[in-house]
Chains A and B, each alone.
Chain A
Amino acid sequence: MVAAQPRAQDLVYIAIMELPNDLIKEILVRLPLKDILSYKCVCREWYMLISNPNFTTYYAQHSPFTTIFLDQYHFCTKSLSLLEFSPNGDFTQIRIKPKIPEFQDINSNGVTIIGSCDGWLFLLYHAYRPCYLDDRVIDKIYFCNPLFERCVEIAQDRSPWGDLDYKVGYIPSTNNYKLLRILYNRNRVEEAKIFTIGVDKDWRIVEDPFTFWEPGSDYEGVCFNGAYHWVTDNENLDNICTFDLLEEKCSAIPNPPGLLPFSSENVKLTILSDRLSVVDYSDCSQMNIWTMEKYGVAESWFRNISILESWIPHQKHLINFLPIAVLRNGNLIFSQMYPGNSYYFSLGKKQCTPFMFLNVDGLVGETMYENAFGPRFYSLEGIESGGQ
């Protein structure tokens, strides 16, 4: 308390003091993940403080660390980890082992990553059944919070023959997660189904025909602001295509000005500092990163950063580099394809250096999937019941 007038009792020095929870929170959000989790054991009050969703929100705004989810592959061994980066590029690799009920070892084949979204990890498990029972495959989808081990089955489906693509997205306005399942036939969308986690009992057919959807690489699109975004190669369209997960309809938002031709060959989408961003590769000597400051507003696109080819290692191609996260000091983490690897980019030094991540065998494995990851310190309750 601040008092303007002195009072007699104020002059007594108070030796015992307890920090209010707001200050404890200020300190805890600046700790590495492992410390935050283990300090839940300090006392019940700290447990409540850390498990409260407000803490996760506050952590996202104030933590000095940036976390990346990483899926590595090496000689049939899969290894999942979280990489916790300090602003200076130092990182801690935390191995995670989600436990799927039917499946003892997540690291063997059969389990693939659908994606990570908002602190959750979505896994796909192909459960092959003996052919005399059914010649089709049962797909089971699980989700887990990688900070905890428990996996929960959220949906299953008999997968039809054909190429399947799963997407997962979060709708902030309703606090729901939806799964999108797209079936292709000869590079055309044959059928799209949707499933609201915790709400739907079964998959529903999406009415929208997905005319401009292109099956493509792992980098084809991003989920942001309750919509899935992708770049189409259709010549008649020079916007960013969207599928609004709430309305369950395709639409479009404006692309950055003057980017022609706007096609998936020279443009990729990413999320940087919680903003939709476009990476333009049309100039082979440099990569231009555009950021949409205000979602949906065409005038708010601005050219954020340009990366010259001379800043990346020799014999590497800019087109294979995609920025996936911004560290607290503005430096970037790049994901590289062919071969899969990650790079730290220092804006000050204008230099891109590769990381060495070891897989479970202690070998340098190829990166299969990596994504910026926002840790959440509370468990699965909530999402299972439809986010209520």
Chain B
Amino acid sequence: MVTTDEKGPLTAKKKSVIIRSCDGDEFLVSESAAVLSTSLKKILEEKEDRLIHLSDIDNKTLAMVIAYLSTHADDGLSDDLKRSFDQEFVSGKEFDVLKYLVLATDTLQVTCLCYTVAKKMADIMKNKLVEWVRREFDIQNDYTPEAEAEIRRLDAWAWDDRQLEDD
């Protein structure tokens, strides 16, 4: 076991790891950034291997996660700056991109990014038609029309005076 005292000088050396996406591209990441992901931290603790292959995260998504991890590992940045980085990070991203991103945060276990992306996705989903949600999440409607009507009837107020959006 590595104790906390021994860990200090280890991270100070700024060791790096190589992370390979499922597309085959490799990214050089500082160890201090990589360990912000609980999954990567576990791998690094178990193996000497400095090359980690992620079998289900593509280039584009991995690049985004690494940018996030590197910013959050930067001790020179204040918490306020990191918070505004988080806002900027998710703003303007398409719903589909966020879906891949949230899935990657789950695989890599980066809880704070997961919450940030989930919040952004919820903001986009606000006041949308059920049909919009099915389309974006690629979900088949498995209700019979009668069953769906019954659910709508029971939660009638949720459907009152709503100006729903479909884009």
Contact = CB atoms under 8 A, between A and B. Distances in A.
A in complex with B: yes
A126 interface: no
Interface in A17-62: 17-20, 22-24, 26-28, 30-35, 37-44, 46-47, 62
A22 B102 CA distance: 11
Nearest to B137: A19
Contacts of B123: 30
Contacts of A149: 154, 156-157
B10 interface: no
A5 B53 contact: yes
A31 B122 contact: yes
Interface in B145-167: 148, 151-152, 154-160, 162
A38 B119 contact: no
Interface residues of B, number: 55
Given A39-B130, A43-B142, A2 B39 contact: yes
B23 A1 contact: no
Q: What is the size category of the interface that chain A forms with chain B?
A: 35 or more
Interface stretch (B1-9, B72-80, B85-93, B106-114): B106-114
Given A2-B43, A43-B142, A26 B158 contact: no
A317 to B, nearest CB: 37
B84 interface: no
A10 interface: yes
Contacts of B118: 23, 26-27, 30
Contacts of B108: 2
A43 B106 contact: no
Contacts of B51: 4
Contacts of A31: 122, 125-126
Given A43-B142, A148-B155, A3 B55 contact: yes
Contacts of A30: 118-119, 121-123
Contact of B23 (A11, A19, A33): A11
A166 to B, nearest CB: 26
A63 B146 CA distance: 31
A35 B126 contact: yes
B12 interface: no
B110 to A, nearest CB: 12
Contact of A13 (B23, B54, B139): B23
Of the candidates A11, A38, A46, A148, the one having the most CB atoms from chain B within 10 angstroms of its own CB is A38
B49 interface: yes
A95 interface: yes
A147 interface: yes
Contacts, number: 129
Contacts of A250: none
Given A30-B118, A43-B142, A1 B158 contact: no
A1 B56 contact: yes
Contacts of B140: 43
Contact of B107 (A2, A4, A35, A64): A2
Contact of A38 (B39, B54, B143, B158): B158
B102 A26 contact: yes
Given A11-B23, A19-B102, A40-B155, A1 B53 contact: no
B155 A4 contact: no
B99 interface: yes
Interface of A: 1-7, 10-14, 16-20, 22-24, 26-28, 30-35, 37-44, 46-47, 62, 64, 94-97, 147-149
Given A40-B151, A40-B155, 13 more contacts: A10-B55, A13-B23, A18-B137, A19-B102, A20-B106, A23-B103, A26-B102, A30-B119, A31-B126, A33-B158, A34-B157, A47-B151, A149-B154
Interface of B: 20, 22-24, 39-40, 43, 47, 49, 51-56, 58, 99-100, 102-103, 106-108, 114-115, 118-119, 121-123, 125-128, 130, 133-134, 137-143, 148, 151-152, 154-160, 162
**Which 5 pairs show the lowest CB-CB distances between chains A and B?**
A30-B122, A10-B55, A37-B158, A26-B118, A6-B53
17 contacts: A2-B107, A4-B43, A6-B20, A6-B55, A19-B102, A20-B106, A23-B106, A23-B114, A26-B115, A31-B126, A33-B158, A37-B155, A38-B155, A41-B151, A44-B142, A94-B157, A147-B155
